[in-house]
Amino acid sequence: MNTGWRCRRAPVYAAIAAGGISLLGNAVASVALPWLVLGMTGSAVWTGVAAAAGMLPLVAGALFGSRLIDRIGSRRVAVAADLVSAGSMTAIVLLYGYGALSLTTLMAMIALGALFDGPGMAASAARYPELARLARLPLERVTTLDELADGVATIAGPVAAGLGMALVGPELTLWMTAGCSLLAAAINACCLPGRRASARRGLPPSAVLTGIRFLFGEGQLRALLLIDMVVVSLFGALDAVVMPVFLRESGRSAADLGGFLAMASGGAIAGALAYARTGHRLAWRQVVLACLALETLAFALMALQDRTLVLLLAGALAGLGAGPLSPLFSTCLLRRTPVAIRGQVLGAANAVALVATPLAVLMAGAAVGAAGTRPVMAGQAVLFALLGVLVAIYRPRESRAAAGQSHSPTRERSR
């Protein structure tokens, strides 16, 4: 009986572990790559361009990934995504070591590695309902374990990257990303169950538009999606451009960037756990307004103070405010989306949430180059405050489709 229990639960635990390991590698790269570009060019603008080169393919992969998963299967997509990521990071390190890494080649390798990240991240998660039933575990417990694994990875990744860059430099630190991707690919190949070929040859060409139409046709989801898009884009600009330039100009090291990102990740975990405990008793508008108030305070602190303790506190507050937003949106999305189009809607939601980030990164790079980091941080604080005002006065209109698909207790709670 004990052996059967282990066999049933091994696939779901392996899928969660593989996702966390893959995210750990991405978290290392998210710190090492901007620092590498900044060291090669000394330009905030080019740092923003390189970051956008990785984000645009990520958006495309998230948008069309559901079709790829449905066509060739989750296991193949998950393994291929990690192998491509490992190959691109290995190429960057080897080319840099031989003195043959140009900025154009670097951006091409970043884009190649990011192209499969969207469907790769969704591939294992798409199997969680089946894996939870196989393991005889509640789906809520499986998704909670997945969030915890991701949280640990996002905390450990920046710290490991900061230590690695302080000891061996950013280019050699990328070996950690390649190693994590290879390990995740091996775990998925061995443990993630395959799936019988579907009679369908894929989704119709209008599948992506179906998800987007549903998202923007339902008032509450539309509001939450736009809020999520703004928050993700502002944080993307902060992590990729504003904070690396700010710390470098103030004479700090990459370890300080890792510490800031680790504090933000820790705050995000605390915020998500707080939402899991009390969120069901609060209206979504109350949660969002509290989160935006924390973001405004955090970015204002960063703009006004440069002491290390204040920056770490600001990072923790920023993470605390961001933590509840993702589970809030996911909960509303899963409750209000029909099962028949859930995959299409999830893929569209991920893509829309990320689509503004490359533009925000490019704009942040240009703004930092023109005005400096402190005015940009102050502007981000103002944007969060304005978004809070809009949320306070906005009253979304319930669509007929969503009203018909939601049970009344869910609708009342979500309001």
pLDDT at 385: 92
On whether the CB atoms of residues 334 and 353 are closer than 8 A, the answer is: no
Residues 314-357 have pLDDT tens digits of: 989 998 988 888 777 777 776 677 756 666 677 777 777 777 77
162 by Cβ neighbours in 10 Å (0-12 / 13-18 / 19+) ranks as buried
pLDDT of 413 strictly over 60: no
Hey, how many other C-beta atoms are within 10 angstroms of the C-beta on 336?
22
Q: What is the mean pLDDT of the chain?
A: 78
User: 333: Cβ–Cβ under 8 A, 6 or more apart, which residues?
Assistant: 221, 224, 345, 346, 349
pLDDT at 216: 81
User: 117: Cβ–Cβ under 8 A, 6 or more apart, which residues?
Assistant: 26, 57, 58, 61, 81, 85
When pLDDT is cut at 50, 70 and 90, the band that residue 183 belongs to is very high
Could you give the count of Cα atoms lying within 13 Å of 395 in the half-sphere of its Cβ? 0
Which letter does DSSP use for residue 281 in this model?
G
Q: What is the residue extent of each domain of the chain?
A: 1-190, 206-415
Could you give the count of Cα atoms lying within 13 Å of 241 in the half-sphere of its Cβ? 33
The single residue listed with the structure tokens 């443990």 is 191
When pLDDT is cut at 50, 70 and 90, the band that residue 261 belongs to is confident
pLDDT at 415: 34
- Whole-prediction pTM value? 0.65
Output 341 or 262, whichever has higher pLDDT.
Answer: 262
Q: Same topology for domains 1-190 and 206-415, yes or no?
A: yes
323 by Cβ neighbours in 10 Å (0-12 / 13-18 / 19+) ranks as buried
On whether the CB atoms of residues 294 and 321 are closer than 8 A, the answer is: yes
Buried b (16+ CB within 10 A) or exposed e, 5-19: eeeebebbbbbbbbb
Containing 410, the helix (H) or strand (E) segment is helix 408-414
pLDDT at 55: 72
pLDDT at 50: 75
Nearest to 317 by CA among 343, 299, 342: 299
H helix and E strand count, the chain: 20, 0
Output 322 or 72, whichever has higher pLDDT.
Answer: 322
pLDDT of 3 strictly over 60: no
Residues 355-397 have pLDDT tens digits of: 777 778 878 888 888 888 889 889 989 999 998 998 888 776 5
pLDDT at 365: 82
Helices (H), 116-253: 117-126, 128-135, 139-168, 170-191, 207-217, 219-237, 243-249
Phi, psi of 102 (to 5 degrees): -90, 165
On whether the CB atoms of residues 202 and 114 are closer than 8 A, the answer is: no
pLDDT at 341: 67
Q: Which CATH architecture has domain 206-415?
A: Up-down Bundle (1.20)
- The mean pLDDT of 106-123, rounded to a whole number, is 82
The single residue listed with the structure tokens 């499969």 is 116
Fold of 1-190: Growth Hormone; Chain: A; (1.20.1250)
- The mean pLDDT of 259-278, rounded to a whole number, is 80
Instruction: Out of 115-124, 165-174, 386-395, pick the least confident.
Output: 115-124
pLDDT at 300: 92
Could you give the count of Cα atoms lying within 13 Å of 174 in the half-sphere of its Cβ? 27
